[in-house]
Structure formats: structure tokens, C-alpha cells
Structure 1
Amino acid sequence: MEAHTGDRLVTHGRTVGQQDQVGEIVEVLGTGGTPPYRVRFGDGHEHLLVPGPDSVVRRSVGPAPGPRDGGAP
């Protein structure tokens, strides 16, 4: 698993009716994007996590490059 700051970590519910937990990765503590990750959830709490097989990383989509970034105006 590889992640970067700003990506989302989605942990799927383990039982019927349990919702997925989604948090934003605010810090990558492993080398080369590997766990552990510091993750901030919607209620503001942060946790240090080593995701298991029931988790996936959703890449963040950065803003489109503008004129100062070398993109089209």
C-alpha cells in the first residue's frame, strides 16, 4: 500500500450495516509512502494507523495547473 498526504483512507465496514470509515491522510510516517499513516477523520480526531486488508487508498486529485504552474492561462 502506498499513500501520500491528502489521500483518503477508506476502511470498509466489517459487518452488515456497518458503514465505511473515511479519513484524510495528514502524514505518512513510513518510507516511500508506506504505513503507518496519521489519519484525520470527519469529527476532527486523528489516529495513527497501519491499514489492514479491508482498507484502500483513494488518491487525491490536485487542482488543475494554472498560469503560474506552467499550465494554460
Structure 2
Amino acid sequence: MKAHVGDKLVIMSRHLDEAVQEGEIIEVHGEDGTPPYLVHWSEGEHEGLIFPGPDAKIVPGRQASTA
């Protein structure tokens, strides 16, 4: 998984009653765009350092702004 600052991180829920989590990547700490990422989450207005799992996907910044 590789990302850039400004890309959107989307984590799909594992259960029907859980919401999808979305946030903007504000820092990339790994080499060549690899995790961990510092993400500003859209819900709750907080930030967190994350190593995304298999339930996560990256939406490039240009696509994220038009979606």
C-alpha cells in the first residue's frame, strides 16, 4: 500500500452495524509512500497514526476531492 499526503484513507466496516471510516492522510511516515500514515479523521475531528489493514483502501487526492 502506497499513499501521498492529501490522499483519502477509507476503512471498510467489518460488521453491518459499523460505519465506514474516512480520513485525509496528512503525513506519510514510511519510505516511498508506505505506512504508517498520520490521518485526520472526518468523524470526531481527531488525528491518529495508523498502519492500515486489508480492509483499507487509498483514494488518490484528486479522486477524493471529486467523489
**TM-score, normalised on structure 2?**
0.87
Q: 1:55 Cα deviation (Å)? A: 0.1
Q: Between Structure 1 and Structure 2, which shows a larger proportion of helix residues?
A: 2
Mapping of residues 8-47 of structure 1, within 5 Å:
8-42=8-42, 43-47=44-48
Distance in 2 (alpha carbons) for counterparts of 1:19 and 1:48: 19
Which structure has more RCO (C-alpha within 8 Å, separation ≥ 6)? Answer: 2
What percent of counterpart residues are identical? 45
Give the residue type in structure 2 aligned to 1:21: Q
In the alignment, structure 1 segments of 5+ residues that lack a partner are 63-73
Higher alpha-carbon Rg? 1
Alignment size in residue pairs = 62
- Runs of 4+ off more than 4 Å: none
RMSD of aligned residue pairs (Cα, Å): 1.2
Structure 1 window deviating more from structure 2 (26-35 vs 8-17): it is: 8-17
TM-score (norm 1): 0.80
Q: Which residue is 2:7 aligned to?
A: 7
* Matched residue SS, 2:61: coil
Alpha-carbon distance between aligned partners in 1 of 2:17 and 2:60, rounded to the nearest angstrom: 26
The Cα of 1:17 is off from its aligned counterpart by 2.4
Q: Unaligned regions of 5+ residues in structure 2, if any?
A: none
